Amino acid sequence: MGVSKRPTEESPGLTRTDAYPATEIPPELFSYGGVNYTFATYNETGFDNVLVQGQEIQVPRQRYFSYQMLAASESGMASASIKANYADGSSSEGALFVPAFWSWPYPAGGDLVFSSFLTENSTNYNKSNIFQTVNWLDSTKELVSFTWPNSSTGSSTEPGGAALDTKLHIFALSLLPAEPMSECPSLEIQYARSTQKWLEGSEKVQIIEAVINNRGSSFIDTGHQVTVEVQSAGIETKSQAIIKRLCPGDQAIVEIGVQNRDGIDLGKTGPVTVVITGVGVNSTPYTFNAMYGIVPFEATYESIYSHESPNWYNDAKFGIFIHWGVYSVPGWGNKGSKENYAEWYWWTMNSGPLDKTNTYGYHLDEYGAEFVYDDFIDDFSASAWDPKDWVDLFADAGANYFVLTSKHHDGYALFDLPANVSTRTSVALSPHRNIVQELFDASEKYQPHLHRSVYYSLPEWFHPDYKQYGFGQWPGGNRIHGHFFEIYITDRNPGNATNPFTNETLPYTGYVPLEDYIEEKILPEMNILAEMGTEIMWCDIGGKNKTTDFASAWYNKAAQENRQVVMNARCGLPGDFDTPEYAKYSGVQRRKWETSQGMDPYSYGFNRATPAASYMNASSIVTGLIDIVSKNGNFLLDIGPMANGTIVDVEKRHLREAGAWIKDHAEAIFNTTYWFVTPEEGEFFRFTKSQDAFYIHCLAKPNATIALSSPIPWMEKDQVRVVGGKMNGAVVPSEMTENGTVILSLSDEIVQADRFAWVFKITY
């Protein structure tokens, strides 16, 4: 029994009956993340949640700091906008992004996690989730009500991220009141927690994270000399957090560095009190139970789920994705509305003549019926490849990390493997080079600031020994129908690929028979990549796995070497960050995310059908990066080299053009975070911030006057300055009108001094 998504009177056609297990739901009154909730208890009849359908929700009329909800969607990533209605007739809108209550093959990272969920007739032992959303409210105004959207759109979590319609369910709503108007500055510690992270470059100085709210009506600035530290018998503060500015209604998430006191064992738990000090600042200490020190990870879901993306990754913002392999030889995915991922050539060829790409027909015309996919291996030459040229290009582009496809779904690995695992590799076969190792070595030698990482597909489409796991359908079919994973399976040979033109069973080049694909292939391959030094394990497809075993050993070994590594959400576990594809969000997703996108309009692998004019230009790279960073994302931009290792000239040119701008404006992008109030204003303005400054990004050539109605942290004493371009450092006249709008007056020289995007800085 559980908390069901039952039909409601407003939507009698809804038939979903999936439910959370009743024994695991929270009590009626509980706190999460420093927010108190009232949660529906289980009843055999009646409704226990609200289906979002355009309702207006009345609230007690007063001033509020923020609102939080516990929610889940039925499928995909639901996106919606909620309008807050104020007593003076004005309103503000907040964007929501809510994942599905369960998802596969990429499991989401929930705030409330349940061991399973119940369908109408059975129990599904995939984990299910409820998610917390957090949104700002204008605390200077009395709130009257919320207007929820009529419907929720969303995007699929499957490859491609196609748009879909979904339904959004709300289980609880909590409002955090603002404090009474006062001239005395006041800060509130909403929540604090210990983490398994440590300050970069330190000897395991553990991070305590605290959420600090300015719920009052006065600015905090440098004159208040605000610091945050912890007091405890078990740990001592090594690095205070500093708050240089926090305007009314704003929030800061700060990190305090701590170490165990002498004689205190790692992993011991005990009370910790977070204390704010400042000149003339009111604050109440916050005490919680913390774990003292960084402890080894265990091979359990709960332990691995406690791992988080390290600061180097959160601050890096921009990476280069490289899809290069046997699929680069044919290098074809059609174009326009018929284009699909070129790296899926083998799959779409086997999908038959009805697939939109008509790879089947293209292959028949270009290569003939007897030429099979593995025949391309000999032509994967890497003959023009110089790994130094690649890493130099990545650095020129302004990237801080790269992710190379070490093995895609076709099973061809770009690194060496033991002979008892597979010889389907770039070492045993053409071009007889350890491509991953060569690229890592070149990066370490020539561009050591680049973080080195790999993409890795757990399944292989047509590996004969994967058939027992194949998602109920994978592998062995020779055509797809309908849904991404609904594959027609021939009775004759459900383990190997077939020639789609002759129906001949095909050998799997480099195949080594295995008793257990998971134990004897996935695990050793991931371990080898870890030994090679990958800093990101960027998995794909997931499925059956032993990721808890792998990740615990990998995390612990890296920690022994004082390295912090990171894993995405596609290794069969929620991982440390989400990975939407070709995604743009209208608001902040607080869980770390990284969108990947090809410079090609759709494909990741090289697609010879793509016209040069269709590749992403420098302006789109720059404005896309700014937009993503402002919403707590990283941008993983993909290139698809040709089979000989040549990168398309237009890609190189646009990367270097974008990189010149990115480097010139780096302070406004790297080592920044999102603004709690809003990431954007209108179509063309985005905001980022650091400990020392607030940044205003204009994504199009501005007019002589910029008027910002968002409550940006501008003060009368501030000098707004240009960041980057030919007028870097120039002062921009600024003022605030009676209604709170900040006006920036731009000279023609400033307007003409930059391109792609214009950035302005308020230094604290």
- Is the model's pLDDT at 14 over the cut of 60? no
How much is the pLDDT for 571?
97
Q: Which domain holds residue 601?
A: 318-335+387-478+515-664
- Is the model's pLDDT at 490 over the cut of 80? no
How much is the pLDDT for 757?
98
- Is the model's pLDDT at 324 over the cut of 80? yes
- Is the model's pLDDT at 68 over the cut of 70? yes
Q: Does residue 210 sit in the same domain as residue 172?
A: no
Q: Are 657 and 649 in contact (CB under 8 A)?
A: no
Q: Does residue 129 sit in the same domain as residue 245?
A: no
The CA distances from residue 556 to 24, 297, 299, 552, in Å, are: 30, 6, 11, 6
Mean pLDDT calculated for residue range 591-607: 96
Q: Does residue 739 sit in the same domain as residue 690?
A: yes
Residue 117, in any domain of the structure: yes
Cis peptide before 99 (omega within 30 of 0): no
Question: Each residue of 32-65: pLDDT tens digit?
Answer: 999 999 998 877 777 889 999 999 999 999 999 9
How much is the pLDDT for 157?
63
Residue 98's φ and ψ, nearest 5 degrees, are -130, 115
Name the DSSP letter for residue 426: T
Q: Are 455 and 405 in contact (CB under 8 A)?
A: yes
How much is the pLDDT for 18?
85
Residue 364, in any domain of the structure: no
328: left (phi over 0), alpha (psi -120 to 50) or beta: alpha
Cis peptide before 431 (omega within 30 of 0): yes
Q: Are 719 and 735 in contact (CB under 8 A)?
A: no
Residue 63, in any domain of the structure: yes
Q: Are 383 and 395 in contact (CB under 8 A)?
A: no
Structure pTM? Answer: 0.95
- Is the model's pLDDT at 158 over the cut of 80? no
Last residue of a domain, one of 664, 695, 718: 664
Question: Each residue of 185-199: pLDDT tens digit?
Answer: 999 999 999 999 999
Q: Does residue 568 sit in the same domain as residue 519?
A: yes
Residue 345, in any domain of the structure: no
Last residue of a domain, one of 615, 635, 664: 664
Q: Does residue 266 sit in the same domain as residue 325?
A: no
Q: Does residue 168 sit in the same domain as residue 216?
A: no
- Is the model's pLDDT at 608 over the cut of 80? yes
CA-CA distance, 268 to 446, in Å (whole number)?
A: 43
Q: Are 547 and 518 in contact (CB under 8 A)?
A: no
Q: Are 494 and 542 in contact (CB under 8 A)?
A: no
Specify the CATH number for the domain of residue 276: 2.60.40.10
Name the DSSP letter for residue 27: P
Question: Each residue of 430-476: pLDDT tens digit?
Answer: 999 999 999 999 999 999 999 999 999 999 999 999 887 765 444 44
Name the DSSP letter for residue 522: I
Instruction: Give Rg (Cα) of the chain.
Output: 27
Place of tokens 């109605």: 709
Q: Does residue 261 sit in the same domain as residue 406?
A: no
Which of 110-124, 498-512, 698-712 shows the highest mean pLDDT? Answer: 698-712
Q: Dump strand ranges (E) for 125-167.
A: 128-136, 142-147, 152-155, 163-166
| Total domain count, the chain | 4
Residue 508, in any domain of the structure: no
Residue 146, in any domain of the structure: yes
CA-CA distance, 438 to 638, in Å (whole number)?
A: 19
- Is the model's pLDDT at 738 over the cut of 90? yes
SS3 category, 742: strand
Specify the CATH number for the domain of residue 726: 2.60.40.1180
Place of tokens 């994978």: 474
Q: Does residue 592 sit in the same domain as residue 701?
A: no
* Residue 471 CB-half CA count within 13 A: 24
Q: Does residue 421 sit in the same domain as residue 532?
A: yes
Q: Does residue 525 sit in the same domain as residue 608?
A: yes
Last residue of a domain, one of 120, 146, 177: 177
Our CA angle for 616, 664, 692, nearest 5°, is 120
Residue 446, in any domain of the structure: yes
Choose among 665, 689, 669, 693: nearest CA to 679.
689
- Is the model's pLDDT at 105 over the cut of 90? no
Our CA angle for 280, 275, 135, nearest 5°, is 90
How much is the pLDDT for 487?
37
Q: Which pLDDT band holds residue 120 (cuts at 50, 70, 90)?
A: confident
Q: Does residue 522 sit in the same domain as residue 652?
A: yes
* Residue 478 CB-half CA count within 13 A: 20
Mean pLDDT calculated for residue range 63-74: 95
Q: Does residue 440 sit in the same domain as residue 582?
A: yes
Specify the CATH number for the domain of residue 67: 2.60.120
SS3 category, 26: coil
